[in-house]
Amino acid sequence: MSTKITQQTEGSLSLREPKQYHVYLLNDDYTSMDFVIDILVRIFHKSYVEAELIMIQVHQNQRGLCGTYTYEIAETKVHQVSSLARENGFPLKAVMEEA
């Protein structure tokens, strides 16, 4: 006598791209333009020219887009901005918003 065994897998594996988050720098009246450029170069790896353009956007529009990242990376960059700004005596803030 032979026994037949079958196995079925229920459901399917579905992979999705992780959610993306925009990171913005916010304008304030105290942080120097040079410091904003330095943050953009050091933390967001922008060229000097890109950093100048974003800095102007922050100044004119009250905020400027620094980049779009996964949640963990965006959160890390927001914390890095906060830490460096505090260490240098500036109130510069970064925020993240779901893209």
Predicted TM-score of the model (pTM): 0.84
CATH label of the domain that carries residue 87: 3.30.1390.10
Is residue 18 assigned to a domain? no
Percentage with pLDDT > 70 across the chain? 89
Residue 12 above 80 pLDDT? no
pLDDT at residue 6, rounded to an integer: 55
Return the structure tokens found at 20: 């993306």
Average model confidence (pLDDT) across the chain:
92
58-81: per-residue pLDDT in tens?
999 999 999 999 999 999 999 999
Is residue 5 assigned to a domain? no
Domain that holds residue 90: 30-98
Is residue 79 assigned to a domain? yes
Is residue 59 assigned to a domain? yes
Cα→Cα distances 39→13, 24, 54, 80, Å: 41, 12, 11, 9
- What total of structural domains would you count in the chain? 1
Is residue 13 assigned to a domain? no
**Closest-CA residue to 82 (of 22, 19, 20, 23):** 23
Is residue 16 assigned to a domain? no
Cα→Cα distances 45→3, 51, 84, Å: 63, 9, 15
Is residue 20 assigned to a domain? no
